[in-house]
A = this chain, B = another copy of it.
Amino acid sequence: MSEISELGEFGLIDRLTAGLKNQNQASELAVGDDAAVLSYPDTRVLVTTDMLLENVHFDLIYVPLKHLGYKAAVVNFSDIYAMNGTPRQITVGLGISKRFTVEHIEELYAGIRLACQIYGVDIVGGDTCASHQGLVISVTCIGDAKADDVVRRSGAADTDLICVSGDLGAAYMGLQLLEREKVASAGRKDFVPDFAGKEYLVERQLKPEARRDIVEALAKEGIRPTSMIDVSDGLSSELIHICRDSNVGCRVYEDRIPIDYQTAVMAEELNMNLVTAALNGGEDYELLFTVPLTDREKVEKIEGVKVIGYITRPELGSVLVTRDGEGEIPLTAQGWNPLK
């Protein structure tokens, strides 16, 4: 194990960024100057940023550092895909407390580098400093899209179909499971957590993926969504963002919301409301988007995409139609309130 103080900031950065090769033509100059230099003559530049703080966004008792690095990068890629763009570069800010060794930070960085390699993204800059408290990770992602391809939250129109990729609520259930095993393990050195039959939930929480495949499939089918957002705070919250920004309402059907079998089993085991988990759980990093009614056939061809409802006039509100088809529940932007 090596002390970070022996290497110093510059030495640590050299070690973390050794052998980095740019994968994008747009990355003219990466790490090692006052700023990175990028070239985007033909496209719009997309920028997004996310901060992850220890014990707020992650608990190192059950989050492996490599997974954490991977997730920190991927959640930013997800925001770029949600604009119908392609992530190209990231900068990485790290606040590191004394209890971490060089090897710890290399592990974290290995996860970031793996995500970048898989998604074709370049690490072009960063800032590494000491933290007196926990680990701080701040990633900013730059991407691009042709001007006409950019999809905002504000373009949904009456009668548009509401679609979502993958399934919802699994990452939230994974978090509940990890928390339960953490409590059970407290003070027991020989404890082995039991994730049998629930591997999918744990993976969704610890190692989410961004839906590049969906963005590519939409392009292949010639579909340009009228609005799009990634599901980070929960379906309900994201629907309300789209409805507010597009000045529309929506009707979403409870029995159409895609939920994995493991998610349902876990909800039952924990005696939690399954639909609440799917609506408000968050961290799914699926894509929620709207398409014109005329694209129904095309969108139904895409594997892993489900039509869950449709856009209405604003005065009809944003509602969930319950499973029996009789009740209507107004959606609320509950999401996470980490500031509470």
Chain B residues with Cβ under 8 A from A333's Cβ? 10
- Please tell me if A249 contacts chain B, counting CB pairs below 8 Å: no
Copies of this chain, tallied across the complex: 2
Are B57 and A129 in contact, CB atoms less than 8 angstroms apart?
A: yes
- Please tell me if A218 contacts chain B, counting CB pairs below 8 Å: no
Q: How many residues on A have C-beta within 8 angstroms of the other chain's C-beta atoms?
A: 78
**Residue A38 contacts which of B36, B44, B57, B134 (CB distance < 8 angstroms)?**
B44
- Please tell me if A316 contacts chain B, counting CB pairs below 8 Å: no
Listed stretches A119-127, A174-182, A191-199, A261-269; interface member:
A119-127
Are B91 and A47 in contact, CB atoms less than 8 angstroms apart?
A: yes
- Please tell me if A28 contacts chain B, counting CB pairs below 8 Å: yes
**Residue A8 contacts which of B53, B134, B152, B337 (CB distance < 8 angstroms)?**
B337
A47-B124, A49-B127 given as contacts; is B138 within 8 A of A339 (CB)? no
**Residue A130 contacts which of B49, B131, B338 (CB distance < 8 angstroms)?**
B338
- Please tell me if A93 contacts chain B, counting CB pairs below 8 Å: yes
Instruction: Give per-residue flags for A124-164: 1 if the beta carbon is below 8 A from chain B beta carbons, else 0.
Output: 11111111111010101111000100101110000000000
Task: Report A219 CB to chain B, min CB distance, Å.
Answer: 17
Mark A residues whose CB is within 8 Å of B.
4-5, 7-10, 12, 28-29, 32-42, 44-51, 53-57, 79-80, 82-83, 85, 89, 91-96, 124-134, 136, 138, 140-143, 147, 150, 152-154, 228-230, 245, 333, 335-340
Closest 6 CB pairs of A and B: A133-B133, A138-B138, A35-B48, A34-B82, A38-B45, A140-B140
